Structure 1
Amino acid sequence: MNAWKLFTAVGAGVTTALLVAVVIIELLQIEFSALVGLPVGVITGIIVTVWLGGSFDELPVGVRRAATAYAAFGMTILAVFAVRYVNLGRNVLSLEVAIGLGLAAVGVVYLALLRSDRALP
C-alpha cells in the first residue's frame, strides 16, 4: 500500500466520519444527539476507509483524484484541530477558518493532481 492510497483511504474515512456525525447531531432534536451521531459517524468512516483502501486501484483516475481531494478536507481539519489543541493560533483558528482551510485544501489538492496527470505522458 503506497502513501497516496493510505492517505486517501484514511482521509476519506475521517472526512466521512466528521460529516456524518455533524449532520446527525444537527438533525436530531434530542438532548444527547452526539451519543447517536458520533458512533454512526465513526462506523461510517471505518466502512469508507476499508472500502476505499480495498478498491482504490480499480477506480478511474478522475474518481481517485476526487477521493484524494475529499480526503484532504478531513486531514486539514484534523491538522487545524491539532494545532489548536497545543495552543498555537487558538484565537485565529476558529471553526470557520478551519472549514475554509479544509475547502481550500480540497481545491489545491484537486488542481495539483489534475495538473500532475496532464504532465504525465
Structure 2
Amino acid sequence: MDSIDKLLAELQSEYKEVQPQQQQSKSATAKSFIPPPPKSASFIDNLLAEVKADFAEKDAAVESKRQQELEQERVRQEQLKAKEIEALQVQAKEWLAKVDPLSSEGLWFERFAESYSSKLEAAIEYLRSN
C-alpha cells in the first residue's frame, strides 16, 4: 500500500500546484465576462446636455427658417403693394386726364383733392375706394 500512498501523495501535490493556476485563469476569464460598471451620472448628464443642445439647435434652425419665410412673405407683400400702387397711378393719370373739371364729379374731386398733397395722390385714393 505504500506505493499507492506515494502515488496518491504525488497526485495530490500535482493537483495543488495545478489548482491555483486554473483558478487564476478562471478568475481572469470571469473578469472578462463581468459587465462594465454602470455609467456614471456625469456621463448621463453629458449625454442629456448633448441631446438638449441638439434639440435647441434644431429649434433654432426651425425658428430661423420661419423668420426667413416671414421676411420673404413681407417682401412679397410689399412688392405686390408697390405694383398695385403703380397700376393705380396709371389709372389715376388716365382718370385725371378724362375728368371734366366743371362737371359735378370734377368739382367734387377738386374739393376732395384739397386735403391731399397732389391731385394724383387724391385720384389714387379715390380710385382705391371705388
- TM-score under structure 1 length normalisation: 0.30
- TM-score under structure 2 length normalisation: 0.28
